Amino acid sequence: MTKTLIHQALIINEGRSFIGSVLLEGTILSHIFEGPVPQEVLNDCNVLDASGKWLIPGAIDDHVHFREPGLTHKADLLTETRAALAGGVTSFMEMPNTLPQTTTVQVWEDKMALAASKSRTNYSFYLGATNDNLSELVRADYHRVCGVKVFMGASTGNMLVGQLKALEGIFSSVPCIVGIHAESEAVIQANKAHYLESVGSDLPVRYHPMIRTAEACYASSATAVELATRFGTRLHILHLTTAKEIDLLESKPLKDKKITAEVCVPHLWFDDRDYERCGNSIKCNPAIKTEHDKLALREGLISGKLDVIATDHAPHLWAEKQGNCLTAASGSPSIQFSVPLMMELVKDNVFTKELMVEKMCHAPASLYHIERRGFIREGYFADLVLIDPNHSWILTGDLILSKCGWSPYEGQLFRTNVLKTWVNGALAYDEGQFAECPTAAELRFKI
């Protein structure tokens, strides 16, 4: 069995940062050394000098759209998981609005088979809820299915669950996390009708947050919180975007919560002033909103009201992003740059490096009850990322790995760099090079 010692890195883990070394044996992190490493260990393994570098657990992205099957002109499991590796993401949970939609156990099984043959990172898939598929949801194996996704507002794929009886059935019956897209369709349609009448049909993208407003988000999130409180549901509000919604949440340890929330990288990075500069490239659902909302989201992570940082990685071809507020596709690719972008906020003293690791690595693992991942602990799977904290580079088009070939972050100066990524103890990404043999595995969950 090959043994690798990642030696003398700054290990950032569970609220601490210390100089140490970790020993990888097979798929497992077998030992953590804080201080000197015994000479017999040094003599018995491959030693990687990580002095001056940061070692963190692999990030776990609980919200991606990798487009396979059915939409592979935009992205696929191979291209997007390679992008994930380059960004320090070692595990993902993917959404059900593919073709066919993942609304039956059989389609879910088919996606798992695809991932087993193609994915370069650890994987799981949500089951998607509809108004009439509760029988499928209750028979799923939630040791393997990460959660149920409920679109309480229409988005890409049009999987809107709009019947209260259906929502009550879902919230009262499934034993797993219910992740929601929270936007009130009634509010959205009323806003849309208003601007069509008052401005016309060719609405610039700056109108997007005026149609998909904070009120639309709050109305839907409040309904979900009421249902979850009534039925004791493990509710997870996905891509929360507004200061107002944060008032629905409590600041207490994650282990004591049944209602939690995720914030996504674009909403932490951009605000509505950026529509003029970035145009349709930052159009997403829910919409990027005001600077006040962005700053409130950042503070919500610090206060503990917001629990997880994800990406909502949602590639489209650039041609599909053309048009106006109503016709351009919503969504953008982010996964390759999620850790580097959050490292920029660390550099700017918005977050501590320990908080970044908590929200991107530990919290997703704890929230979803993922078995033996998300932490640097002895006996855990060795999903690890080595970062150079002092390497500056500019994102140019030739560096983009997502299949769609563009990024809203093109031209951005990054001051840190992901050097190496290990998946289940194997070096899967090494300074621009990818391993030939994938070592990814399906995620397993405790329920």
Q: pLDDT (tens digit, 9 = 90+) per residue, 346-401? A: 999 999 999 999 999 999 999 999 999 999 999 999 999 999 999 999 999 999 99
The two structure tokens encoding residue 381: 């799977």
Q: What is the mean pLDDT of residues 64-91?
A: 98
Determine the pLDDT at residue 162: 82
DSSP label of 141: -
**Is the Cβ–Cβ distance between 324 and 203 less than 8 Å?**
yes
Burial per residue of 264-302, b for 16 or more beta-carbon CB atoms within 10 angstroms, e otherwise:
bbbbbbbbbebbeebbbbbbbbbbbbbeebbebbbebbe
Query: For 137-146, how does the pLDDT look when each residue is reduced to its tens digit (9 = 90+)?
Result: 999 999 999 9
Q: What is the mean pLDDT of residues 243-272?
A: 97
**Is the Cβ–Cβ distance between 370 and 43 less than 8 Å?**
no
The rounded mean pLDDT for the chain is 97
Q: What is the mean pLDDT of residues 408-431?
A: 98
Other Cβ atoms less than 10 A from the Cβ of 42: the count is 13
Rounded (5°) CA angle 9-84-400: 110
Determine the pLDDT at residue 255: 95
Rounded Cα distance between 252 and 101, Å, is: 36
Determine the pLDDT at residue 217: 98
Q: What would the DSSP string read from start to end of 55-74?
A: EEEPEEEEEE---TTT-TTT
**281: closest CA among 323, 331, 335, 206?**
331
Rg of the chain (C-alpha set): 21
Greater pLDDT, 438 or 280: 280
Asked if pLDDT for residue 109 goes beyond 60, the answer is: yes
Query: For 83-96, how does the pLDDT look when each residue is reduced to its tens digit (9 = 90+)?
Result: 999 999 999 999 99
Strands 177-181 and 54-57: unpaired
Q: What percent of the chain has pLDDT over 70?
A: 99
Determine the pLDDT at residue 31: 98
**64: closest CA among 40, 42, 41, 90?**
90
Q: What is the mean pLDDT of residues 332-345?
A: 98
Rounded (5°) CA angle 60-407-108: 45
The two structure tokens encoding residue 245: 């919604």
Q: What is the mean pLDDT of residues 393-413?
A: 98
Helix (H) or strand (E) holding 52: none
Q: What would the DSSP string read from start to end of 270-283?
A: --GGGHHHHGGGG-
Residue type, 397: G
Q: What is the mean pLDDT of residues 162-186?
A: 95
The residues near 11 (Cβ < 8 Å, ≥ 6 apart) are: 17, 18, 19, 20, 22, 32, 55, 56, 376
Asked if pLDDT for residue 218 goes beyond 80, the answer is: yes
Confidence of residue 305 (pLDDT cuts 50, 70, 90): very high
The two structure tokens encoding residue 238: 């996905």
Rounded Cα distance between 364 and 368, Å, is: 6
Determine the pLDDT at residue 219: 97
Asked if pLDDT for residue 186 goes beyond 70, the answer is: yes
Give residue for tokens 């560096």.
399
Burial per residue of 213-237, b for 16 or more beta-carbon CB atoms within 10 angstroms, e otherwise:
bbbbbbbbbbbbbebbeebebbbbb
Rounded Cα distance between 12 and 357, Å, is: 7
3-state helix, strand, coil in the chain (%, to 5): 35, 25, 40
The beta strand positions in 163-207, using DSSP E, are 177-181
Exposed/middle/buried for residue 432 (C-beta within 10 Å: 0-12, 13-18, 19+): exposed
Asked if pLDDT for residue 153 goes beyond 70, the answer is: no
Determine the pLDDT at residue 154: 62
**376: closest CA among 339, 422, 415?**
422
Q: Decide: pTM greater than 0.75.
A: yes
Confidence of residue 158 (pLDDT cuts 50, 70, 90): low
Helix (H) or strand (E) holding 196: helix 185-198
Q: What percent of the chain has pLDDT over 90?
A: 96
Domains, the chain, ordered by start: 3-55+378-434 (2.30.40.10), 58-367 (3.20.20.140)
Determine the pLDDT at residue 159: 78
Distances, alpha carbon 226 to alpha carbons 12, 154, 213, 218, 263, in Å: 37, 20, 20, 12, 20
**Cα dihedral 47, 86, 63, 67 sign:** negative
